[in-house]
Structure 1
Amino acid sequence: MRQRPDWTWTAAPALALGLGVVLAAAGLVLGRPDVALLGAPLLLTAALGRQRPPAGEAGLDVAVDSRLDRREDGSTRPRVEYRVGLAVPPGTELALVRLRLVGGRSRVLAVGPGTTELRGEVALLGVSGPQEVARAELGLATGDAALVAGPLGPVSAERVLAPAFAPVADLPLPPGLRGLSGVHDSSRPGQGGDFRDVGPFVPGDRLRRIDWRTTARRSSTPGEVSELYVRRSLATSDAAAVVVLDSRDDVGEVVAQWGANRAERRGTSSLHLARQAASALAAGTVRRGDRVGFCELGGAHRATAVGSGDRHLRRVLAAVATTRAAGVLSGVRRLPPVPPAALVYVLSTFLDDVAGAAARTWRSRGHRVVAVDVLPAPRLGGSTPAQRLAHRVVAAEREDRLEDLRSVGVEVVSWAGAAGTAGRRAQLRALSRRRPAPRGAVGAR
């Protein structure tokens, strides 16, 4: 970003001029030449300070280069190298760069007129999603600070850190299957599925599916074939799933930081867990051979249409990784579109009723809805008695919301439960073995 700076005069030349005139006048009145000579440097400084503003453009840009810093124990810690490029017009005596780095660190650097760039290295936070690595502002000053300009900017650069996840192997199925091919047996006859029954041969049946034993057993005359019988199978279809991520807010595990919500102090955040869950569910659905879509509930209202294949999965994972908190806890005017008979995953903290209302609406429309609770396990250390009491009230209200969802047939899975990864897999495995409740069913568990 380059632009012509808007230079403004400071009070330094006027103060030097006024003090120089006072000293010169006092020396003349008192007959003290030494006192009058004290004002000469000030008058000279004021005369030199009335210079023309420096000509030329000024600007700065911020760039980020990523690398992995390997520790001795073999783990990797994401670190980035940032670069702040400076363009200072000739005649500038001093440039001040205000730099804010990821993690909340802030510093002000004074650089000379010949400096063209600043470099440094900083570690990213231990959560996924977009992270602002560096934000810079530029201020300029001439000799004796007679003219100043700025601040120019701010200019920032961010880095997107993809969540670490493992595809979920056992996933539930929606109440209905769509498509003419897939990996699941449908209720209609066709090819590719499990055995259905044995029936008379009709035009269109393949000869290799003739059941000669049944044909011979049902023949009226021994040694003669009156009618052929074929083994009929079920057709195969695929399932459609939509991952809905509530991105209206991002809550950390440290309860004392729920008010300030500073990223460097709140610990593991709900949106980080939601990105992990969304990526794992989407990858597991695609690897099973089904179709998946992604959309945000609130925030930027971005949506990725339902699709399948590795290329589509990469698009979904990119959309999940770049999801950021909107910071506005407003309601949703229009629900994201969901294909008929789809499985809907609603990922939210359920600290209010917006996500729960959307889940109930999709359940009433005949979809199988799985509410994925992504609120981190709370850490109450450092919180005040008032904050502990408020947390108990909020937790009780949230549990009531989840119980209301269960009462209308919405299945609830805790992604950050006390049992960890094993407990999460057990919950999903139990859902995969459970038949979806029919439309309008209440209290199905």
Structure 2
Amino acid sequence: MPPSAAAGPLAPQPGADGAPAWRPTRALGRAVLVSGLLLIIGVVLGRTDVVLLATPFLIGTAYSLRVRPVVPPDLAITIEAINRVEGGEVVAELEVINADRVRYDLVLVRVRRSSWLRVDAADRAHGLAVEAGTGGVIMLEGEAMRWGRHDLGPVAAAAAACDGLFASAPVVLRAARIAVYPRTEPFQAVDAMPNAAGLVGGHRSRRPGQSGELAGVRVFGPGDRLRRIDWRTSLRTGQLHVAATLSDRDAEVALLLDVTAETGNSGGVHGGASVLDTTVRAAAAIAEHYLHRGDRVSLLEYGPAARRLRAAAGRRQYLTVLEWLLEVRQQGSVDGGDPVAAHLVSSNALVVVLTPLLDPGAAEMLARLARSGRYVVAVDTLPTSGLTVPAGGPWTEMALRLWRMERENTLGRLREHGVPVVSWAGAGSLDLVLRDIARFAGAPRPGIR
């Protein structure tokens, strides 16, 4: 990942709209006023000692103004190219560039930051002197507290030159956008997959092919390889027979993220997790697991925007998934229509729905997917903190109990439709469910005559 640098001010460069890039300070006014008054008093009163007293002020001011600054300071911020995850280190380099012929006696730099970037050095102003034609560097180091795209900046700087007699107009640099990826907990799942229908992969399918899983012995036919001949059966029957095997195929996993509701307090990597925190981290862990095994993974959003990431496999898809997850935001309830149409989800895919089941339409969406013949698993992402409410009177506890009963009824109706609901608990959360689904998929289905 290349370093990202933010360049260019938020406002036009000083001097671009006719405003001076450098302006005199009050120190210059005081020096001119004091030396001028002493010189005038000495001349009017004929006091040579007063004229001599004004001479150092005149010489010092003239020496400081022998070369006046023209170019304002320039700023550049660079983020080191490291893998930034929640709880990881963030290192940025802020450079103050002096392209003028005059030394900057003092440059004051102030950096703003996102609340999810714990950079202590950004909470105070930095001062440094920069020689002519060189640059000064300020190192910013901290910790990324939560996934998402966070701003380091804007950065504002102002310089003083000519012994403090001239000051530059403030220069503002755009914020650098830092991508912080969700921290994935170690996630493992059983090898069982309800429907492996790709061309190649690591899951055993019910289709014949070239693999090591024995399906039976059959008579030799055109196109069969000689190394597949079962000589024991052939000698016993007097006719060539070959060992038939099942093909190994990849599977598609569709991750459906419910972004209609957000509850719980997000405390970052060291605090509690909200619904979106659990959803994003679980999606990243599941996608990493299946992509590492060679399966195809697609992502969809259940919300008004209905973003979608097509199914693919490999390392590039994993990086694309992480970038896609950084844009997850709460979008509110779905008003009319079904953003997750059946044709958007492959009929052979295992659909893992990450939902807190707070939106009434989410349960209906799960039931529709199950009735369409998809293999659906619902992962409950509602945190424990989301089940508590502040004290609000004698009816608050009663309302909470009624809400819990209604939610349990919803979970029961989903199970009646064949949709298992499990709570996210990291590694092994889906083992029992996937094993049951694979066993159900492999069972013979009754036919209708």
Matched with 1:222 is none
Aligned length: 374
Alpha-carbon distance in 2 for matches of 1:151, 1:402: 57
Listed one character per residue, the Cα deviations across residues 183-213 of structure 1 (whole Å, up to 9, x for unaligned) are 4444444443644444443333344444455
User: Percent identity among equivalent residues?
Assistant: 27
Q: TM-score, normalised by structure 2?
A: 0.62
Matched with 1:120 is 140
Alpha-carbon distance in 2 for matches of 1:395, 1:151: 56
Matched with 2:417 is 408
Matched with 2:32 is none
Structure 1 residues 67 and 162: alpha-carbon distance in aligned structure 2, compared to 1, 3 A threshold = same
Matched with 1:203 is 222
Q: TM-score, normalised by structure 1?
A: 0.63
Report the CA distance between 1:132 and its aligned residue: 2.0
Alpha-carbon distance in 2 for matches of 1:61, 1:314: 31
SS of residue in 2 equivalent to 1:80: strand
Matched with 1:130 is 148
Residue 223 of structure 2 aligns to which amino acid in structure 1?
A: G
Give the alignment partner of residue 256 of structure 2, picking from 241, 244, 248. 244
- Listed as ranges, the gaps of 5+ residues in structure 2 are 1-6, 21-25, 27-68
Matched with 1:277 is 282
Listed one character per residue, the Cα deviations across residues 72-91 of structure 1 (whole Å, up to 9, x for unaligned) are xxxx9533233444579999
Structure 1 residues 177 and 148: alpha-carbon distance in aligned structure 2, compared to 1, 3 A threshold = same
Give the alignment partner of residue 338 of structure 1, picking from 345, 353, 357. 345
Matched with 2:125 is 109
SS of residue in 1 equivalent to 2:78: strand
Q: Is the 8 Å Cα contact of residues 364 and 440 (structure 1) preserved in structure 2?
A: no
Matched with 1:221 is none
- Listed as ranges, the gaps of 5+ residues in structure 1 are 14-53, 69-75, 219-224, 255-260
Q: Is the 8 Å Cα contact of residues 95 and 110 (structure 1) preserved in structure 2?
A: yes
Please say if 1:318 is aligned against 2:322: yes
Alpha-carbon distance in 1 for matches of 2:243, 2:193: 27
Alpha-carbon distance in 1 for matches of 2:366, 2:152: 39
Structure 1 residues 116 and 282: alpha-carbon distance in aligned structure 2, compared to 1, 3 A threshold = same
SS of residue in 2 equivalent to 1:63: strand
Report the CA distance between 1:415 and its aligned residue: 0.7
Report the CA distance between 1:369 and its aligned residue: 0.9
Matched with 2:90 is 80
Matched with 2:391 is 385
Structure 1 residues 109 and 250: alpha-carbon distance in aligned structure 2, compared to 1, 3 A threshold = farther
Report the CA distance between 1:341 and its aligned residue: 1.6
Matched with 1:99 is 112
Matched with 1:359 is 366
Residue 184 of structure 2 aligns to which amino acid in structure 1?
A: A
Q: Which structure 2 residues correspond to residues 141-290 of structure 1 after superposition, within 5 A? A: 152=172, 155-174=175-194, 176-192=195-211, 194-215=213-234, 217-218=236-237, 225=238, 227-247=239-259, 251-252=263-264, 254=265, 267-290=272-295
Residue 152 of structure 2 aligns to which amino acid in structure 1?
A: A
Q: Is the 8 Å Cα contact of residues 250 and 325 (structure 1) preserved in structure 2?
A: no
Alpha-carbon distance in 1 for matches of 2:261, 2:94: 31
SS of residue in 2 equivalent to 1:385: coil
Q: Is the 8 Å Cα contact of residues 182 and 289 (structure 1) preserved in structure 2?
A: yes
Alpha-carbon distance in 2 for matches of 1:78, 1:303: 28
Listed one character per residue, the Cα deviations across residues 27-86 of structure 1 (whole Å, up to 9, x for unaligned) are xxxxxxxxxxxxxxxxxxxxxxxxxxx975666444334789xxxxxxx95332334445
Structure 1 residues 363 and 440: alpha-carbon distance in aligned structure 2, compared to 1, 3 A threshold = farther
Q: Is the 8 Å Cα contact of residues 250 and 269 (structure 1) preserved in structure 2?
A: yes
Structure 1 residues 150 and 375: alpha-carbon distance in aligned structure 2, compared to 1, 3 A threshold = farther
SS of residue in 1 equivalent to 2:289: helix
Matched with 1:25 is none
Report the CA distance between 1:414 and its aligned residue: 1.0
Listed one character per residue, the Cα deviations across residues 253-285 of structure 1 (whole Å, up to 9, x for unaligned) are x4xxxxxx6769962233333333223322332
Listed one character per residue, the Cα deviations across residues 390-445 of structure 1 (whole Å, up to 9, x for unaligned) are 766665554444333323222222114xxx656x265456446542399999xxxx
Report the CA distance between 1:379 and its aligned residue: 7.4
Matched with 2:60 is none
Report the CA distance between 1:217 and its aligned residue: 5.0
Alpha-carbon distance in 1 for matches of 2:81, 2:218: 64
